[in-house]
Amino acid sequence: MFSENQWIKIKAPATVANMVCGFDILGFAVNSPYDEMEMKWTTRAENEARITIINIDNYNLPTDPEKNVAGAALIAFLEEYEEKQKSSSPKIKFEVKINKLIKPGSGVGSSAASSAGAVVGANYLVGNIFSKDDLVRFAMNGEKLASGVKHADNIAPCIFGGVTLVRSIFPLEIIALPSPTLHVTIVHPQIEVRTSDARSILRQQVLLKDAIKQWGNIAGLVAGLMKSDYDLIGRSLEDVIIEPVRSILIPGFDDLKLACKKAGALGGGISGSGPSIFMLSKTKEIAIAVEKEMKQLYDGIGLPHHTYVTSINQTGVEIIE
Ligand code: HSE
C-alpha cells in the first residue's frame, strides 16, 4: 500500500477512439491534452462515504460518485477490492481531485480520462494488485454512465498507451498494437455532440458490401501499423459505415478532410463520436500545415475552435508522486 493520507498526482491522456474504420474497437492515446488528478486513500469509519470527489475545474460535473464517471469506475474498483480483502482488514476510502483539461463532450475521451485516471490511481495507492485488463473493466462503468454503453476504445488506450485493439469486451481482450511515429492534429469545433445522440442516429444494420470494405480497412490499418507502412495506413483510414451518418453533425467536415489530405495528411476522420476531427501525418511539419488548414476552414465559416498538434502517447495514465 502507498502511504495513507499522501496525495499522488495523475496525468490521464486524451484518446482518439474508432481510428476511423474501427468503430468501438480501435483507439490511441495522445500526448496533449490530458487531465490532471490527485488522489489519496485514508482509513474509513463504518458510516463514512467511500469516495469523495472534488472538482478543481469550472465544468461543474457531478460530485456524487454514482453520477460522476470517475466515481462510477471507483465504485466498481472498490467492490472487487473489498471482496479481495480479509474481513479483518481496515476499510479504505478515496479522495479524488479532478482538474479537467480535456473539455467534456469534445470527442477526445474526456470521460475515459477521468474513469481511467481514477482506477489507475486507486490501484497504485493499494499496491498495484489489479491488472490493466481489470482496470479497463472497472473504468468501463464510467463509459456506461456517460454514453449508456460499455465500450473500451477510449479506456484501453488511456490505460495501456499507444494504439489498442479491443478484440472483445465480454470476455475482455485488449491487444496493444505497435505503431510507427505518427503526428496527430486535432480540431475541436466548439459545438456539442453528445455521445449518446451520436450513437442513437446510427443504423442497426449494415450492407454486406459495406461490411466487406470496412473489415478490409480495419485489417489493412492493423497491418499498416505493424509494418510501419504509412501508405497502407493512409489508404485504410476510410469508414463507409459510421462516418457518412455522423459527419452531417459536424460543419464543414468533408471540405476539411479534403483540405487536410491536400496538405499532406495520411488521413483521418471523426475523433470518437465527435465533434473533434483528427488527422494523422508522417511528420510534424505536415501536422502543422494540417492545423493551418483546419484553422483556415473554421475561421472562414466563423466557427470557434481549438486545435492540438501532438503525437501518440505510448505510456497511458501516469502517476507522479
Ligand atoms: N466508439 C465510441 C463511439 C467512442 O464512437 O460512439 C465514443 O467516445
Supply the CATH number for residue 305's domain.
Answer: 3.30.70.890
Give residue-wise pLDDT tens across range 167-213.
Answer: 999 999 999 999 999 999 999 999 989 888 999 999 999 999 999 99
Cα–Cα distance, 181 to 28 (Å, whole number): 13
Q: Is residue 244 in some structural domain?
A: yes
Looking at the fold, whether 73 and 113 belong to one and the same domain comes out as: yes
Looking at the fold, whether 36 and 88 belong to one and the same domain comes out as: yes
Q: Is residue 3 in some structural domain?
A: no
Looking at the fold, whether 87 and 13 belong to one and the same domain comes out as: yes
26 alpha carbon – ligand 1 mean position (Å): 10
130 Cα distance to chain centroid: 20
Q: Is residue 1 in some structural domain?
A: no
> What is the model's pLDDT at position 321?
76
Looking at the fold, whether 159 and 16 belong to one and the same domain comes out as: yes
Residue 46 falls in the annotated catalytic set: no
pTM of structure:
0.96
What single-letter amino acid sits at 106?
S
> What is the model's pLDDT at position 305?
98
Looking at the fold, whether 21 and 113 belong to one and the same domain comes out as: yes
CATH code of residue 132: 3.30.230.10
**Residues contacting 204, CB < 8 A, separation 6+:** none
**Residues contacting 62, CB < 8 A, separation 6+:** 68, 71
Cα–Cα distance, 181 to 67 (Å, whole number): 38
Q: Is residue 305 in some structural domain?
A: yes
Considering its fold, how many domains does the chain have in total? Answer: 2
152 alpha carbon – ligand 1 mean position (Å): 9
19, 20, 23, 249: which to mutate for ligand 1, most atoms within 8 A of CB? 23
Looking at the fold, whether 63 and 155 belong to one and the same domain comes out as: yes
99 alpha carbon – ligand 1 mean position (Å): 23
> What is the model's pLDDT at position 148?
87
Residue nearest ligand 1's atom 8 by CA = 272
Looking at the fold, whether 173 and 188 belong to one and the same domain comes out as: no
3-state secondary structure of 289: helix
> What is the model's pLDDT at position 263?
98
> What is the model's pLDDT at position 88?
72
73 alpha carbon – ligand 1 mean position (Å): 18
Looking at the fold, whether 212 and 139 belong to one and the same domain comes out as: no
Q: Is residue 234 in some structural domain?
A: yes
pLDDT < 70 positions in the chain:
none
Please tell me if the CB atom of residue 144 comes closer than 6 angstroms to any atom of ligand 1.
no
Looking at the fold, whether 26 and 73 belong to one and the same domain comes out as: yes
Angle between helix axes 132-147 and 69-84 (nearest 10 degrees) is: 140
3-state secondary structure of 251: coil
Looking at the fold, whether 298 and 172 belong to one and the same domain comes out as: no
Q: Is residue 107 in some structural domain?
A: yes
Looking at the fold, whether 98 and 56 belong to one and the same domain comes out as: yes
> What is the model's pLDDT at position 149?
86
> What is the model's pLDDT at position 122?
98
Q: Is residue 67 in some structural domain?
A: yes
Q: Is residue 2 in some structural domain?
A: no
Domain extent for 215: 183-311
> What is the model's pLDDT at position 298?
98
Please tell me if the CB atom of residue 110 comes closer than 6 angstroms to any atom of ligand 1.
no
Please tell me if the CB atom of residue 154 comes closer than 6 angstroms to any atom of ligand 1.
yes
Looking at the fold, whether 161 and 221 belong to one and the same domain comes out as: no
